[in-house]
Structure 1
Amino acid sequence: MITLGGIIGASLFVGSANIIHAAGPAAVISYLIGGLLVFFAMRMLGEMASARPAIGSFMEYARVGLGDWAAYLVGWLYWYFWVGVLAYEAVLGGNLLNGWFPVIPSWGWSIALLVLFIITNLISVRTFGEVEFWLASVKVSAIVVFLVVGVLFVLGLWPDASFSVSNLWAHDGFAPNGVGVVLTGVAIVIFSYFGTEIAVMAAAESEDPAGGIKQATTTIIWRILLFYVGAVLLIVTIVPWNQLPDPAVIPPFTHVFALFGVPGADTIMTIVIFTAVVSVLNSGLYSASRMFAALADQGFAPRIVAKRARNGVPVAALIASTAGGFAATIVNFVAPGSGIFDFIMNSAGLVALFVYVFIAATQMRLRMKMTPEEQANLKLKMWFFPWINILLIAAVLGIIAIMLSSESGRTQVWTSLLATGVLIACWPLVRRRLAKTRASN
């Protein structure tokens, strides 16, 4: 449920329409390819995590496998990504609440949401898990209903419905805008799946880390196929792709629920979308704080950030992470034309791809370091080693190349590289301080 909470957000309930408008019914292939790439990365992460559970997981494995520089870079990039997500989800949630209760301005609701989930995360990791479970349950329930009723609707077994499978090819073909757009779609949907690694981080704090990690990484593929690919497949089968409304006016799930004849479909889906937003906000606070604390544990961030309360919650890291979210949120409302908020969101755009490359390279390196006996004793093993690692890295490079072919994609690539360049420029200073600390110890 934590995994689902991390990946099911507004990108599915609203953003899926943009992919469908661009690729037609073949958007299903974009989601399928993206899902497989994430599944490979999760399996690689699962192999490392089941053998050595660690908070901040892939950063710690990058340190052991590739060196301090890799851990420093991937850790800070990951934290930076979630700070941007915190701001984005807080702004979106604030706007939704303002629509219902306009007495309080959007920025007031955004700050209130951040404060609420700071408190939730401060209580204990168990509280975080419980809250995330129930928030994710709302999203999962909505999608399950959507899938069950959708199948009946497509088969003509629902009132006022007719057999509509032909919508997959009846309107200028399955891929009306060509195969290239389908591949471009992969570059967009890959970010929708980012967040699956939260389960591995949370499992490291559970009673049975190895068991929890194995469960999370081995079941993620059917979850992705069922909830993302299945939902998108039903949308393009129920509604002709070129008749789907603008998601800014009517989100695709809202439109389809209305076709089902569900009373108040608009209100119901707005509530579900709000639940999805605050669920990702909750997950983001957890992920950012744990990664920030892990950075401090290794000497890549100020030591005070590593301080934890008796319940294990890294209080300083949690507050520091939300400070970035507060700043970005306030900037968006106070100076929307400054471009600062847009820069933060765009410059975090490639982090998901960078993390997947680090995971693939790290798992390859750690496997090569193992003795035959250690490899045989692995509780969870990546298949076809190292070919899928190479495939994943090549796919990421291909996605970046595709992004460079569009103006919006180029903006994300260059701003992400700029943010990465700043971190690289700071590495010599961090390395010297790290060397002094280790020498004194």
Structure 2
Amino acid sequence: MLDLKWIRENPQLLDEALERRGAGSASSEVRRLDEARREHLKVLQDWQGRRNEASKEIGKAKASGDAPRAEAVMAEMTDLKARIQDGEKEERRLDEELSGFLATLPNVPLADVPRGADESENVEVRRSGQRPAFTFEPKEHFELGEALGQMDFDAAARMSGSRFTVLRGKLARLERALGQFMLDVHTGEFGYEEVSPPLLVRDDALFGTGQLPKFAEDLFRTSDGRWMIPTAEVSLTNLVREQILDEAALPLRFTALTPSFRSEAGSAGRDTRGMLRQHQFYKAELVSVNTPETSLAEHERMTRAAESVLERLGLHFRTVVLCTGDMGFSSQKTYDIEVWLPGQNAFREISSCSVCGDFQARRMNARFRPAGEKVAPRFVHTLNGSGTAVGRALIAVMENYQTETGEIRVPDVLRPYMGGLEIIGRE
């Protein structure tokens, strides 16, 4: 959530930032709601002040034996009490209206984020690795998986519907190996603490990270009112909600390998074959909690951690910075990492790493106490990234390491997780 004080002082900057993101101006509506609330508070405070004065007058009138005066002021007190009760209800309504509007405003992009309308205007910043050279026409992952008898979309559809996959045998083990490998890299080499978090969360948790209220249609909800996490970012970031941390404890770095659940609203007709766009998938998530002064450097570090996974898998990829029109709601700046898929002859996103500033922290009331300073606690900065999406990494390994006979070579770094297996063939 954006800082109301900042909006009051910088209405034009807010509207310019929203315009960069392709949204309409909002400063006039914020000002209208804010002024209505502040004017009402002034009236309410006047009534409360008069109530305090009247209480003293009643005491003096009774002490002096002036019964008519006491009764008149008591009658006024009765009227004041009713007005104050109604006024407090109106205060809550105005607070909710202002807060509700602020909750719909996206984060402000950093100055170096390129302006653009959609993904076609994202800017490539670097590439790594080499595209594999094939002497045959490479197949897509679903062709390979079905031919191996280890990727079953029909069985998944019979029990769950579309956008689900059943993996069996060595491909199921390969998916597990990828997730374990990612966790080992992030915990052992980049200092992330492994966490096993809840997969079901309440409204407040999703509000804190920015999925609610605006993106409810992208989520799955249970019959008891909880939500299935669309990413472990939700659970990991909310570890610090309503907390005041010591600066010495920062940065906090968390990682988790969990299922993620997404309704894929608005994706009708896109990636309908295979397991690129699923309702359920595994992801190794990265979350960092930092001071404002270190968050930008942490963003580069987090992106590097995600890139290192793909480098060790020997995959060709590129890193792009998202333009203003393609950024997520809570993000100030986002790097997408796109892996090369020979079967599609295209780069596809496998990781997004975002710095959010204090946007999520304000929604969660997550703060820290600066070391050695007698100042009020400050909001932390939060970051999140995929390190990486396990299902898409599986797709990339299958397509990049396929053989002409349709088998899959196991990358060297994964063989210890596969019991030394070198080739996945039909069982």
TM-score (normalised: structure 1):
0.19
TM-score, normalization: structure 2?
A: 0.20
Q: Which one has more relative contact order, counting CA pairs under 8 Å at least 6 apart?
A: 1
More strand by share: 2
Between Structure 1 and Structure 2, the one with more helix by share is 1
Larger radius of gyration: 2
